[in-house]
Chain A
Amino acid sequence: MILTRPPLKCRELVEIVTDYLEGDLSRRDRRRFERHIAGCEGCTSYVEQMRLTKRLLGRIPEDSIPAEAREALLDAFRDWRSETG
């Protein structure tokens, strides 16, 4: 027996968008999700925004290591090397 569930609402979709992007929705929920965005411009934008958020997060450049910390670590490395031989 297949129980048909009511269509997803926008308010619900924004709570499961990460499950969707992570590929963690069941096949059925995934279809329900995709059916909703196919007919909803707002949610299509929302999903795109979440994708872009993830992408931009991956583009933040790292701070460089402070010179002082770098020096201290190099000293530690040289000590370690002379101890281990």
Chain B
Amino acid sequence: MLDRLRGGDESAFVELVERYHSPMVRLARTFVPSEAVAEEVTQEAWLGVLNGIGRFEGRSSLKTWIFRILVNRARTRGVRESRTVPFSSLEREGDEGRPSVDPGRFQDEGLWAAPPRAWEDQPEERLLSAETRAVIREAIDALPASQRRVIDLRDVEGLSAEEVVELLDLTQVNQRVLLHRARSKVRQALEDYLGGTS
């Protein structure tokens, strides 16, 4: 892929763009205030990729290198834009210390009062239906930006914990906490949709 790209092979570029453009726009959107700006930043990032490809040394995967360029640009742009948007709460999670599961579902001693029901009985078609996917998408979109970024990269894009830590300049603990909060909320949304407690 790298050689084809450096050699000016258009189909290699098209392949990359089709694979990564949309996830890049989504990632950019967690740093900047609008869809239009996210799209713009992503276009810029692609130019950065083309201009930097000669210097890419392959120490990380091509994918994380491309995402890195995107994050750098989106972050810079986000800082600039937030100056014009007072009281920006882009980086505030707002749910620090909140439990992952509604405390009302436990007895006083901390054991389940309303335990979750197994999903094993759910038919695979239902789990993979467009409707279920829409529920998941909606749950992700409702997350604070910092959590959305992590769950998207880890679970949707399949990057490793190490890659995400590096890409977003997080500590390992922080990465895991953000992932945990995000996954817990998506699970809750799925439970609400698939059927309540036992």
Contact = CB atoms under 8 A, between A and B. Distances in A.
Interface of A: 9-12, 14-15, 17-19, 22, 24, 40-46, 48-50, 52-54, 56-65, 69-70, 72-74, 76-78, 80-81, 84
Main secondary structure of the interface of B (DSSP, over half): helix
B183 A18 contact: yes
Interface of B: 8, 10, 13-14, 17-19, 21-23, 39, 42-43, 46-47, 50-51, 54, 99-101, 103, 106, 109-112, 115-120, 127-128, 132-133, 136-137, 151, 155-156, 158, 161, 176, 179-180, 183-184, 186-187, 190-191, 198
A64 B18 CA distance: 7
A40 to B, nearest CB: 8
Contacts of A77: 10, 13, 50
Main secondary structure of the interface of A (DSSP, over half): helix
A12 B106 CA distance: 10
Contacts of A63: 22
Contacts of A78: 10
A24 B176 contact: yes
